[in-house]
Chain A
Amino acid sequence: MSRIGKIARRTFLIGSAAVVGGVAIGAWYVSRPAPNPLTPQEGEASLNAFVVIDGNGVTLVAPRAEMGQGVRTTWAALLAEELDVNWEDIKVIHGPAAAAYYNSAMMASALPGIEYRKSEFTRNLGEALGVIGKVFEMQITGGSTAMRDGYERMRATGAAAREMLKEAAAKRLDVKARDLRTEGGAVIAPDGTRLTYSELAADAAAQDPRDVALRDPSQWRYLGKSLPRVDIVEKSTGTATFGIDVRVEGMKFAALKVSPRRGAMNGFDASAARTMPGVEQIVDVGDGVAVVASNTWLAMQALEAITFDWGPAPYPATTDAIFAPIAAALGAEPTATPRDDGDASTVPDGATVVEADYSAPYLAHATMEPMNATALIDADGLTIWAGNQGPTILRDRCAEVAGLDADQVTVHTTYMGGGFGRRGEVDFGQYATRVAMALPGVPVQLTWSREEDMTHDFYRPGTMARMRGAVKNGTAVMLDAQVASPSPSQQALKRWMGFAPGGPDNVITEGLANQPYAIPNYRCRNHQADVAVPIGFWRSVGNSHNGFYMESFMDEMAHAAGADPLDFRLDLARREWAPAAGVLQAVKDMSGWTGQTPDGTGRGVAMCYAFGTPVATVIEVQDEGGAIRIAKAWMACDPGIALDPSIIEAQMFGGLVYGLSAAMSEEITFDNGIAQQENFPDYEALRIHQMPQVEVRILETLPHISGVGEPGTPGAAPALANALFDLTGKRARQLPLNKMFDFI
């Protein structure tokens, strides 16, 4: 770091460094810049976590992994907006795992309190406290934080770099910097002289980075417009390299089978497998076996010929037995009461009580690309190639397995064939590391079969809710929600950090405790259950089940109150938080909602506030001779600032599909300690013929930018269940819905 300048209006720091033939520049939130993660290599000037300008132009070192949400595209646009370089000329690469890439926004969201109620002051404080992320060296793609994280930092970096380039040009041309302008990757003098950034890059490194005001959105050229995604050509031509496509000289292929009960392996007999075609090595990975072969399929075949003696599961053997402690937790003392407005233990005078119990199953992520990683152990240490959502954690946990220091491990993050929270885990990398340890000097790609992937997930936990409410004069006057769930955060942090902090897990109640409705007596209680079934973060996390509980129950209350379900919500939202009312009003207008539906048609609405973004969804179902078609959906979201409307729209309907798939038919059940669903025929996801026509509207009234990757998911199940109620009069209180309804 050659020098540090300060951008006063935020807690940013801009750092710059001279690199071979150019300058590297980046912005950090913290009072000291994190150690620079990139090591300069011979003839290549890459030193900075964020942007490198040199003879080759502008390179953005993107700290975020790409799993489908267009992060790389929008970050490049953020940078281009201030740097005055053509957006498509920015080369975007993934940075290696490094401390500088800590994820501040995710940690900021962990601040206590209900987020939509936070003042701008608390929000800024939260961003400043993002420094906590660095302590954990968390570099995570998830929590819908990518845009919140990059929005200020990328623009600040671009602005500071632009001014440094102008200073360098001013000195060279002996003119005043303020008389210069920038355009298309060049500084232009009043007399028309053009100096490209590449020519100026080395001189720019000698300038001090300064505090520069960011441009007003009215001047934006890229942001706010739909841009062609930088990855779109590769992904339309089969040339994008996913983890499973990594090919390294001399690489072998391996397949894996570990205990289906997630417990110990007492023994195995591989004698028949050893002589099978292509088989090169059988590796004991502790709780299972990997076969290394000349071809992935041959390795998979050989695994089928191995007999195993698996130990018992560390959790109850059947779905019913797994849900028993969850049900018991619901009846026990709460772990926490994250919301307690008014008095929710007394039914207000003259009010009508509504009560219902709900539940939702365990769910697999089922990313389209099964888990995999490629690993090599050689004299330099360990190299891992994998699509992953948390490279620093992956590096540290794999280093531990290999008995190496973290700095002896290099993680190459590839494209991900879906993440949805699953690729924030480290197991795929750890198993690949174990296999590589058995074959020093040989790169090995370990690919999980779909069956292995689905039966060894860190599932969305099964949960139960007890809802009690009261309505009077057409509105809700009381809501008392209890939810019981095992803690995904404690399990995940234990896997990531080796320890789990105590205290209540707020993701258990998210989507239930923090909804923006003006219900005067509103309580939400968290009943943490202790169940050892491996669980983790699943797109939208607690909101994924709580959205169903909250918004189905809101419908029940609306009906009990004799009110129109949409107007009932609209009234309660209006009195609490305008953006929530805004999205409801939008779907009301878009769908032409009248509260009346013809015979054979049903409509349902849901509004969920998640990850800072309110989203309202209306779904229309049609009865087609006994089978139900999900015909139409209208969604409105308010992420504050719509940086790239096309990507936001795709995230909205993509999130809806993910939620609808789960709502209609997905469920992981257990027998004999083993997950019963192994592949897509048993775990059906929504297909094109089931896809409703979707219309998405993006509002921009929030004063800050918020996430879009997950908030589209939670409203899917309740909007569908409410539409089915409208169509059939049958209220579904359990998922998946195909237990009660036949879908097309």
Chain B
Amino acid sequence: MTTTLTINGTRHSVDLPDDLPLLWVLRDEIGLTGTKYGCGVAACGACTVHIDGEAVRSCQVALSDVWGDVTTIEGHGTPDALSALQQAWIDHQVAQCGYCQSGQIMQAAALLAQAPSPTDAEIDEAMQGNLCRCGTYPRIRAAIHSAAKAMEG
């Protein structure tokens, strides 16, 4: 069945099974590999993207259920046009292996849209679904705080 999706502002028509998770549409069909597979069961957050601005686990959203415009890490910012959040991620040298970081940044972006200057408790609440096996958490926290400041000012 043909489904039309808007991803990072571009319309894509795909002819794929309805139950194919958005994650695998992005990665294996559209070629947007910035969104990662980590667990497939909503337990790691590596696959986090936005649908209409809301952070969702793309491994859990069937193609036919995609209810709005999709934004992935590639649409959030690019090496030439970094978002304030990405700049903070760079300033704080957050990434180690880097594999979880697309999901972390997309989750953090949704948090900042809701809570422009989040407390530590709000960060814990919003970010605890995003695993980082390298343990970059202290710098994630610091980067969110400084992005919040930068976006305010």
Are A295 and B133 touching (Cβ within 8 A)? no
Are A245 and B21 touching (Cβ within 8 A)? no
Nearest to B23 among chain A residues (CB) is A297
The answer, yes or no, to whether B140 is at the interface (CB within 8 Å) is yes
Chain B positions 17 through 54: 1 when the CB is less than 8 Å from some CB of chain A, otherwise 0: 10011011001110101111111110110100000000
Contacts of B24 in A (CB 8 A): 295-298
Are B135 and A69 touching (Cβ within 8 A)? no
Q: Size band of the A side of the interface?
A: 35 or more
B13 smallest CB distance to A (angstroms): 16
Chain A positions 645 through 682: 1 when the CB is less than 8 Å from some CB of chain B, otherwise 0: 01000100111111001000000000000000001110
Are B101 and A296 touching (Cβ within 8 A)? no
Are A237 and B97 touching (Cβ within 8 A)? no
Are B98 and A231 touching (Cβ within 8 A)? yes
Using known A-B contacts A68-B134, A296-B28, A449-B40, determine if residue A235 contacts B98 with beta carbons closer than 8 Å.
Answer: yes
Nearest to B77 among chain A residues (CB) is A237
Are A693 and B138 touching (Cβ within 8 A)? yes
The answer, yes or no, to whether B72 is at the interface (CB within 8 Å) is yes
The answer, yes or no, to whether B146 is at the interface (CB within 8 Å) is no
Using known A-B contacts A238-B34, A369-B38, A650-B136, determine if residue A295 contacts B127 with beta carbons closer than 8 Å.
Answer: no
Are B95 and A232 touching (Cβ within 8 A)? yes
Are A688 and B90 touching (Cβ within 8 A)? no
A688–B136 Cα gap in the complex (Å)? Answer: 9
The answer, yes or no, to whether B132 is at the interface (CB within 8 Å) is yes
- Among B37, B89, B131, B134, the most chain A Cβ lie within 10 Å of the Cβ of B134
Nearest to B96 among chain A residues (CB) is A68
Using known A-B contacts A235-B95, A417-B98, A679-B43, determine if residue A688 contacts B128 with beta carbons closer than 8 Å.
Answer: yes
Are B96 and A69 touching (Cβ within 8 A)? yes
Contacts of B132 in A (CB 8 A): 368, 657, 688
Chain A 129-166 residues near chain B, CB threshold 8 A: none
Chain A positions 232 through 251: 1 when the CB is less than 8 Å from some CB of chain B, otherwise 0: 11111111111011010000
Nearest to A694 among chain B residues (CB) is B138
B5 smallest CB distance to A (angstroms): 15
A680–B128 Cα gap in the complex (Å)? Answer: 13
Using known A-B contacts A253-B28, A368-B131, A679-B39, determine if residue A237 contacts B78 with beta carbons closer than 8 Å.
Answer: yes
A237–B40 Cα gap in the complex (Å)? Answer: 22
The answer, yes or no, to whether B123 is at the interface (CB within 8 Å) is yes
Contacts of A241 in B (CB 8 A): 33
Are A239 and B79 touching (Cβ within 8 A)? yes
The answer, yes or no, to whether A415 is at the interface (CB within 8 Å) is yes
Chain B positions 101 through 131: 1 when the CB is less than 8 Å from some CB of chain A, otherwise 0: 1100100000000000000000111011111
A229–B4 Cα gap in the complex (Å)? Answer: 39
Using known A-B contacts A237-B34, A370-B38, determine if residue A680 contacts B95 with beta carbons closer than 8 Å.
Answer: no
- Among A234, A416, A691, the most chain B Cβ lie within 10 Å of the Cβ of A691
Are A688 and B123 touching (Cβ within 8 A)? yes
Contacts of A450 in B (CB 8 A): 38-41
A368: which of B31, B74, B97, B141 is its contact (CB, 8 Å)? Answer: B97
A661–B74 Cα gap in the complex (Å)? Answer: 31
Are B90 and A679 touching (Cβ within 8 A)? no
Chain A 449-495 residues near chain B, CB threshold 8 A: 449-450
A681–B38 Cα gap in the complex (Å)? Answer: 12
Using known A-B contacts A236-B101, A417-B98, determine if residue A646 contacts B41 with beta carbons closer than 8 Å.
Answer: no
B16 smallest CB distance to A (angstroms): 8
Chain A positions 678 through 719: 1 when the CB is less than 8 Å from some CB of chain B, otherwise 0: 011100011111010110000000000000000000000000
- Among B23, B89, B125, the most chain A Cβ lie within 10 Å of the Cβ of B89
Are B99 and A369 touching (Cβ within 8 A)? yes
Chain A positions 400 through 419: 1 when the CB is less than 8 Å from some CB of chain B, otherwise 0: 00000000000000011111
B136: which of A277, A416, A654, A661 is its contact (CB, 8 Å)? Answer: A654
A656–B82 Cα gap in the complex (Å)? Answer: 31
Contacts of B72 in A (CB 8 A): 238
The answer, yes or no, to whether B94 is at the interface (CB within 8 Å) is yes
Nearest to B91 among chain A residues (CB) is A228
A672 smallest CB distance to B (angstroms): 22
22 pairs, CB–CB < 8 Å, chain A vs chain B: A68-B134, A69-B96, A231-B98, A236-B105, A237-B79, A238-B33, A238-B101, A239-B78, A241-B33, A294-B28, A296-B28, A366-B133, A415-B97, A417-B100, A450-B41, A654-B136, A655-B135, A661-B133, A680-B39, A685-B131, A687-B128, A694-B138
Query: What are the nearest 9 A-B pairs in CB distance?
Result: A238-B34, A657-B135, A417-B99, A235-B98, A68-B97, A238-B73, A68-B96, A689-B124, A235-B95
B positions within 8 Å CB-CB of A:
16-17, 20-21, 23-24, 27-29, 31, 33-41, 43-44, 46, 72-74, 77-79, 82, 86, 89-90, 93-102, 105, 123-125, 127-141
> 18 additional contacts, CB 8 Å, given A67-B97, A232-B93, A680-B39?
A68-B96, A235-B101, A237-B77, A238-B72, A238-B74, A238-B101, A241-B33, A242-B98, A296-B24, A369-B38, A415-B98, A658-B135, A679-B41, A680-B43, A680-B44, A681-B41, A688-B127, A691-B141
